[in-house]
Structure 1
């Protein structure tokens, strides 16, 4: 699948400022802030969209978080290997296609293309590997065969299920006990009440063909992948085991990230990711943001109404990535005012020390991607006089490199 074109990320070394510090991030599995120590290229997997309502502000907030992580890594001197999937065949997509009378493949491609254009406008670093579920079916089948060889697969009718208790460490990501898992499993794509399963939490690996639904001929029979297995297969293929970070929204902690980790661990005998990082949920004026409620705030709609994409980016940066927060229309207005103030400040012939701004921006990002703290650094600089004649150039480049904001 075609990715989008990455923005050029400037290096701050040309100012004689060296490299940024090691990056710390909150690891969901250990419930602690950990220091990331990539060996060679930093390896990142972020779960992508199911393309039927792209790109709302919750999507954008999640991908911005991991864009910041990449920028902090690059500034610290690491190359980055970034993989993101697209779940371009799954029940929600098929249901939307049926409801709207649109071919499912056309719906997936149109929404994926919209997502690409939004990511480009927001200056998000593109993944080197942007991989669809459909193009990964051979990888999925191979991984299921490996799981079967490990004794972790069983059949219910013509469908194949993963025995989650084949992984002695099942639950390591979410920290939930079984009752907590069962409480949300059915709400997030699971089928705990299906007759014939060994355990209610066992998850679907391969779904046999259903009338009117897409299916592919494989050694497993004619059908299509379950949800979790695609991310296991794609990540292993492009990043290998023991990669640095698996990321996504906090709604993916369980079951999605729990299941994908366990499937990989059972198949390979190796750790899946070293850290699991999750972005908070974005609501709308006190409610969950969802298509069914008709309250999605779309990046494309904001752009079409004339809002500068950099103001949209600043509106997102105003919230810590792990926080749950609510979108109000004032968010974009405040961000527009902030952007104008920053642009006016870099037009000055001199200002406070640009080197100090770089130091403080780096420190904010290195401490669990604290974007709100970084914005305060810049707000203070913009409102203060100084005599550093190269400050505007240094600060502009730093904002571009570290926060992805082009002035």
Structure 2
């Protein structure tokens, strides 16, 4: 089955055909590093991590570019300039984003350019736009340069809007604009702004507008035409609309496919700072083990709204524990048998069909859970050949989605990594040892009593050839 992706520009599913056979270039709008990352940032990064992983599993060589916007109005506003310079704030917050991405297993990008390292490329695009009549430098001495929206007949093609219906651009004040809907390409240096936040340009000292940054960084690393441009749904307008217009007006083919991930709501309300319901990455990482966070953030379809509510992480923990329980159980039972190591790490057709269909992760996850159910049944029936086959499929599927609980990357965040869990483990393992000793001395009354007491506490005991193993019922 051909991979199909929902192209936001075409508002339809399209068969994916890369520009160069076997190779894919992806550009994703990364963070503006003005403040700490929240759940929405993690969800967006994970959506494109899943896309990248699936394309790689499908045989493509992927070049993945995710930028860092490290110069912006909000960065300058949030840095007071006395205790922390704007560039220091940007770098500190960038490190927070990197740590959060790493915590949930988001693969590092092939290239991760900072906006401040691509100023010459931005100025080159602006110069081409001025020369072709699609941009103008103001004549009021401010040094501002704007894109002339009226000059580009296709402006609005990404979001299917007409220019006359659009609101004024709010990425800069209206000084020197010919039309209030024109957007900033270059912002002349203003009194009171740090001298370090200004670069020399043909139009005077200043800094780039937000939208021109991504046009420059994407084409710098992927070429003037590339396969996929992604980002959050909230970036479609004006950011991505403006990127597309200025890039095409400058003569670049730009992106062939536009993908947008859905946003996050908290108990039915859109997450926003004004409502005070933002959930920061640090809070999530403290609330659940990382593999569970990855499962939770990735299990919904990337284009859907992700609902966060009380109990969401507990539900994800239960789901991961079911997968984990089967994998551990199968691993123990297959050890020292002729089936050990015979598993084939290939995803089943139903999983592939789901992922090929616009990354239908919910359906793919359903295949995982059904395979786990069948695997546990095979274990109960002592069908070790079937167990090994299903074990390999679950490993392959969870590896592709990046939440294989047995993967070494999650070892530090295992089920027994905090003080309470370690204390529980010590107590339960002592009782398990006592039960084993009772069984060895044929004191089955004591052995059964211990098993019943553990069962009443929600702890299951499984007797295997390699010994007794316990798990929390989930």
TM more than 0.5: yes
| Residue 121 of structure 2 corresponds to residue 139 of structure 1 | yes
2:70–2:115 Cα contact (<8 Å) kept: yes
Residue 245 (structure 2) pairs with residue 262 (structure 1): yes
- Counterpart position of 2:155: 170
Q: Aligned equivalents of 1:243 and 1:142: distance in 2? A: 19
Matched, 1:77 2:59: yes
Q: TM-score, normalised by structure 2?
A: 0.75
Over 3 Å counting, the alpha-carbon distance change for 1:130 and 1:163 in structure 2 is same
Residues 1:367 and 2:347 aligned together: no
Give, in angstroms, the shift of residue 394 of structure 1. 3.7
Q: What is the correspondence of 1:183-332 to structure 2 with a 5 Å cutoff?
A: 186=169, 189-191=170-172, 194-213=174-193, 214-268=197-251, 270-305=252-287, 307-332=288-313
* Deviation (angstroms), 1:132: 0.9
The 1:53/1:70 distance shift into structure 2, 3 A limit, reads same
Question: Aligned pairs, how many?
Answer: 378
5+ residue gaps, structure 2, are 379-385, 406-474
What is the CA distance between 1:144 and its match in structure 2?
A: 0.8
Counterpart for residue 391 of structure 2: 392
The match for 2:5 is: 25
Secondary structure of the residue that 1:165 maps to in structure 2? helix
| Contact 1:181–1:254 (Cα < 8 Å) also in 2 | no
> Displacement of 1:327 after TM fit?
1.3
For residue 264 of structure 1, report the CA deviation from its aligned partner: 0.9
Residue 367 of structure 1 deviates from its aligned partner by 0.7
Quote the RMSD (CA, aligned, Å). 2.2
Residues 2-25 of structure 1: per-residue CA shift (max 9 Å, x gap): xxxxxxxxxxxxxxxxxxx53211
Higher relative contact order (CA 8 A, sep 6+): 1
Task: Tell me the TM-score normalised to structure 1 length.
Answer: 0.87
Q: Which 5+ residue runs of structure 1 have no aligned equivalent?
A: 1-20
1:99 CA displacement = 10
- Tell me the CA shift for residue 356 of structure 1: 8.2
- Evaluate the alpha carbon distance shift between residue 135 and residue 67 of structure 1 in structure 2; reply closer, same or farther with a 3 A threshold: same
> In 1, distance between residues paired with 2:175 and 2:281?
42
Q: Please state whether the residue corresponding to 2:64 is helix, strand or coil.
A: strand
Q: What secondary structure does 1:373 align onto? A: helix
Alignment of 1:60-71 (within 5 A): 60-71=42-53
Q: Does 1:406 align with 2:404?
A: yes
Tell me if the contact between 1:357 and 1:381 (Cα under 8 Å) persists in the aligned partners: no
Structure with the greater alpha carbon radius of gyration: 2
Whole-Å Cα distance in 2 between the matches of residues 298 and 162 of structure 1?
Answer: 35
Residues 367 and 180 (structure 1), Cα distance of their counterparts in 2 relative to 1, 3 Å cut? farther
What are the residue-to-residue correspondences of 1:107-146 with 2, within 5 Å? 107-146=89-128
Match of 2:324 among 328, 340, 343: 343
Q: CA deviation at 1:292?
A: 4.1
Q: After TM superposition, list the pairs within 5 Å mapping 1:89-108 onto structure 2.
A: 89-98=71-80, 102-108=84-90
In 1, the alpha carbon distance for the partners of 2:83 and 2:263 equals 30
For residues 329 and 53 of structure 1, the distance between their equivalents in structure 2, rounded to whole angstroms, comes to 25
Offset of residue 82 of structure 1: 1.1
1:59 is aligned to 2:49: no
Cα distance in 2 between the residues matched to 1:23 and 1:222: 47
Instruction: Write out per-residue CA displacement over residues 343-366 of structure 1, whole angstroms, 9 at most, x where no aligned residue.
Output: 001122479x97785322222111
Contact persistence 2:226–2:254 (CA under 8 A)? yes
* 1:161 equivalent among 146, 166, 180: 146
- Judged with a 3 Å threshold, the aligned counterparts in structure 2 of structure 1 residues 390 and 78 are, in CA distance, closer, same or farther, namely same
Contact 2:262 2:306 in 1 (8 A): yes
TM-fit CA distance, 1:174 = 0.7
Larger deviation: 136-145 or 51-60? 51-60
Deviations 1:232-284 (A, max 9, x none): 0111111112211110001111111111111111112x421111110111122
Task: Call closer, same or farther: CA 1:114–1:372 in 2, change over 3 Å.
Answer: same
